[in-house]
Amino acid sequence: MSSCWRLVAATLVAAIGLFLITPARASAQQESSGVPVLLYHRFGPVAGSTTVTTAVFAGQLAWLREHDRPIIALRAVVDSLRNPSAALPPGAVAIAADDGHESVYTEMFPLIKRYRFPVTLFIYPSAISNADYALTWDQLAEMTRSGLVDVQSHTYWHPDFRRERARLAPDDYRTFVLTQLTRSKEVIGRRLGESVDMLAWPFGIHDPQLEQWAALAGYAAAFTVERRPVTRGENMLALPRYVVTDLDRGARFAAIVDAAARSRTKP
């Protein structure tokens, strides 16, 4: 065989091999990557333990855009975990905000509208339109109409389940937990017409019993505050999130987002 034909044959073999293995390699790469879920609480001009300054938050969103990080809905992350064939874009990031503080509407919402980034809000309905620090139902309705905001459950009034378990009899504790889980779903669904099947554990507190009751109450996924990316093979009722602080800027913020690239799928 001439050298010319040997070159053609080698090229064909390489092309066929690439065609055969590229999807598998792409799948393996997708499977090995995690998705960081960035968790916020409050925004404003002054930083605090749970407050990120609006300027820092704006800078973080700008960094994500400048570095071509796809911002996906948290529901897409959950759906991909439940359906192994559902692929997510490489480098994807999800954003969530807990509690339902009014600054989510006044500070966060204008910025996510500017960037067209989806966000999931986990609220406890007892505070909405009641507490002076909280969102109103009208504000939540406006945000959901934008198509960028999904409202999910943070229980009904954000209890400390460890404290409640210590003070209540076992049957009373079970009733208390189930009421917190189901009443929140019912109120959000009735007020906003949202399908509520995701939960953020108050204070990140969870255990196998609480997870069992969450499943009984109809939750498909629940989230903690464990600082690592979400990967395949996770416990669906104890998914991790990064609590973002005002110090998470520049290289420190990049390290959080890039941690997903170093994560590996659990066996």
Averaged pLDDT for residues 80-86: 88
Q: Can you read off the two tokens belonging to residue 193?
A: 């017409």
Phi first, then psi: what are they for 248, rounded to 5°?
-85, 80
Averaged pLDDT for residues 210-239: 96
Amino acid in position 153: S
Averaged pLDDT for residues 146-152: 98
pLDDT at 194: 86
Residue 52: other Cβ atoms inside 10 A? 27
Q: 125-142 burial string, b = 16+ CB within 10 Å, else e?
A: bbbbeeeeebbeeebbee
For residue 118, pLDDT beyond 90 = yes
Residue closest to 191 by CA, chosen among 125, 121, 103: 125
Q: Can you read off the two tokens belonging to residue 102?
A: 């009014």
Structural domain spans, the chain: 1-32, 34-262
Concatenating the DSSP letter of every residue in 190-211 gives HHH-----EEE-GGG---HHHH
The string of pLDDT tens digits covering residues 179-198 is 999 999 999 999 999 899 99
Residue closest to 194 by CA, chosen among 128, 261, 265: 128
For the chain, what is the mean pLDDT?
88
- List the single range of 42-46, 51-55, 85-89, 208-212 with lowest mean pLDDT: 85-89
Which residues are CB-contacts of 264 (< 8 A; sequence separation ≥ 6)? Answer: 32, 231
Sign of the alpha-carbon dihedral angle for 172, 178, 181, 182 = negative
pLDDT at 2: 42
Using CB atoms within 10 A of its CB, is residue 165 exposed (0-12), middle (13-18) or buried (19+)? Answer: middle
* Superfamily of segment(s) 34-262: Glycoside hydrolase/deacetylase (3.20.20.370)
For residue 264, pLDDT beyond 80 = no
Q: Can you read off the two tokens belonging to residue 171?
A: 């049957």
Per DSSP, the three-state class of 172 is: helix
Residue closest to 150 by CA, chosen among 104, 81, 86, 205: 104
Q: By the 8 A CB rule, do 147 and 70 touch?
A: no
Confidence of residue 174 (pLDDT cuts 50, 70, 90): very high
